Homo-oligomer: A and B are copies of this chain.
Amino acid sequence: MLKECKNGERFEGTVLVNEWKEVPFRQKPGAFLTLTCQDRSGVMQGKMWEFPPQVLNWLKEEYDIFYIRGAVSEYRGTLDLTIEEICLIPKEEIDLTALLPSSPISENELENRLQTLLDKVSNPELKSLLKQFLDHPQWGRAYRQAPAAVKVHQAYLRGLWEHSVRVAELAQGIAGHFPSIDQDLIITGALLHDVGKMGEYSYDRGIKFTTEGRLLGHIILGLELIVGEISKILEFPQELRYKLLHIISSHHGKYEWQSPKRPKIMEALVIHHADVMDAELYQFEQARNDYPDNEWSPYIPSMERFLFLK
């Protein structure tokens, strides 16, 4: 793993090249390559002082997963990789989880926490819907693999799953203080509120927006998916259906945040707050990890403020 290498050591392994540039030498003709290399442990800047023309072609054709060999050295206090050899990896040999970061919470734990939540749902139609969705060969797998964001919060594999479970747990705890809230709808709505993100991001290389993600967004993609799933369940009650779709439509809470509706039922209001809190508190925790010795984080654009980390 890249992050385990120390100054003076050698590295061999598979990396994802996120960005690259051909940089001309300043005082002689020709150019060298800079390559931003990533595996699941993190990111390291690489340089390749000499390279066969073939490499440039690969990069221009948007190949981005390579096997590389090189030496690690310190430079400005950070480590840097001088790449000596680089070769292409056949598509069928690529293992995504080796290249992208994943949730710090294991699959096992997430599955257990998800199961605990499911066990609490007693409404038969919601139970069916959840089961059908989570056992769906395509959705069930993607739901457990997709990231929750391109950046900002849980931008890693299993991020959507982690975020959904956390929001459901939070929302369910909050709802416990209000007897008139429907807990089954809370859990179902929370687990499904972001399913459109499976289509909004692609993550077979780095995490990126898809065309349908940009044209429609995860709220509409999620609605479309859930409308389709509900249609397979006989006699799903009309009002329950509207409420569940309303939760998805309104979970961003404000028009300016691209929610076409604002919460008009208690369950939607609670899920909206749980969603915002999970995303924002995640950023506090992240800032504490990233700057363990700081009193204050740098300016966090997504929260428009500095965070106090003590």
Contact = CB atoms under 8 A, between A and B. Distances in A.
Interface of A: 21-24, 26-27, 31, 75-77, 166, 169-170, 173-174, 176-178, 180, 211-212, 214-217, 219-220, 223-224, 227, 239, 242-243, 245-246, 249, 255-262, 264-266, 269-270, 273, 276-277, 280-281, 284-285, 288, 295-296, 304-308, 310
Given A220-B220, A227-B227, A260-B259, A285 B180 contact: yes
A246 B284 CA distance: 16
Contacts of A288: 180
B211 A295 contact: yes
Given A22-B76, A177-B173, A277-B270, A256 B258 contact: no
**Which of A174, A239, A306 counts the most B-chain CB atoms under 10 A from its CB?**
A174
B220 A76 contact: no
Given A76-B22, A284-B266, A249 B220 contact: yes
B260 A260 contact: yes
Counted per complex, copies of this chain come to 6
Nearest to A179: B285
A289 to B, nearest CB: 10
A245 B270 contact: no
A128 to B, nearest CB: 20
A102 to B, nearest CB: 21
A144 B27 CA distance: 48
Nearest to A175: B281
A61 B224 CA distance: 38
